[in-house]
Each structure stands twice: as structure tokens, then as C-alpha cells.
Copies of this chain bind each other. A is one copy, B any other.
Amino acid sequence: MWRVNTLGFAILGLLARRPLSGYRVAQLMREPIGFFWNAGHAQIHGTLRKLVEAGWAEYRTEPGPGPHDKKLYSATAAGRAALAEWAASPLPTPQPHDELLLRVYNGWLADPAAMREMLTAELERREASLAHYLTVRAEFEADGTPEDPTTQRFVDYATVLNGIGSERYVLDWLRWLIGTLRD
């Protein structure tokens, strides 16, 4: 039987919250989840099939638009239990892939003006991202700061706070770096 991979748990985490079509999973994989995980629809459909084979998800069919039926997936009790155990199990050592740092590491060879341009574009992208996180945080706090770590609302809030911290430190670092590239 298939050894469920991290993407499997990412998808199961969405199905554990509410039943979804593969198409909706792909959307959520862009918008709230996209800040820490992502996958395209081709990969998602295959993984959903494997989750069903593993007995961790099930679906009911509805007549959908287009040539294929719509499938509404949800997590089974076994799937939820496996997800709950996985969430708190020891983390594997991370294998980072940060292209920005790789660019900077090789930046001593590059034209400083071109480097400054690339970094400024990245700065602007991340300023927009921070602004978005701050809006979301404000919406959370307007309804009362979440406090119970066993609620969906709390964990959503926690990931947003992480996003804010993450963008803030990179922005500081980028501003310092761009400053060293002044002529």
C-alpha cells in the first residue's frame, strides 16, 4: 500500500475541515495554504485517488458540468486519526530550497545595479504580501483574538502570525542588502 506523503496530509487537512471537490482543493492550495504548501491540479487528482485507496478519504458523485462527474471528497474517521497523529509527530530535518538566498550567494559575480533591481522587485512583492497578512490579522482580532489551540480559527491565526513575522524579517534584511548596493 501507498506510503502517504506530505502532499497527502496537506490535502487531507483540507478535507478534514469540510467536503471538497478536487477543483476546490486546488483553489485552496493556492490561496490560504499556498503560503506554506502548493501543488497543481494534476498532482491533486492523483493524490485524492490514492487517499481513497488508502481508506483515508471517500467521495460521493454528483452530476457536474463538463464531461466528468463531480466528486465531493471528505476525510474518513481513519483519515482524521492518521492526520491528528501525523500533525504532532517529530518533524524530519527540513531540506530548504530558497532561490533568493542562492541568488545572493552568487551575487558577488553579478552587476550590482541589476542585483539591486531584482532585490527591489522582491522587496515590493513581499511588502504586498505583508500588507495582506496584516489585513487578515486585523479581521481575526476584530472578532476577538483566538485563544483555544484546538480550534481551526486559532491555527489559522497562528499561521498568519508566522507569515507576518517571516515577511518582516526578510523585508528588514532586503532593505539592508539593497542599501549596501547604493553607488
- Residue positions of A touching B, CB distance < 8 A: 6, 9-10, 13, 16, 33-38, 80, 83-112, 114-115, 117-118, 121-122, 125, 147, 149-152, 154-156, 158-159, 161-162, 165-166, 168-170, 172-173, 176-177, 180-181
Contact = CB atoms under 8 A, between A and B. Distances in A.
A111 B84 contact: yes
Given A88-B117, A91-B118, A110-B85, A36 B105 contact: yes
A94 B99 contact: yes
Contact of A37 (B98, B155, B162): B98
10 contacts: A9-B102, A37-B98, A88-B114, A89-B114, A90-B121, A93-B125, A97-B97, A154-B180, A162-B173, A165-B173
B118 A180 contact: no
A88 B103 contact: yes
What number of copies of this chain does the assembly contain? 2
A122 B122 CA distance: 28
A104 B159 contact: yes
A69 B84 CA distance: 50
A110 B84 contact: yes
Chain B CB within 10 Å — which of A10, A109, A118, A176 has the most?
Answer: A109
A96 B117 CA distance: 23
A173 B114 CA distance: 34
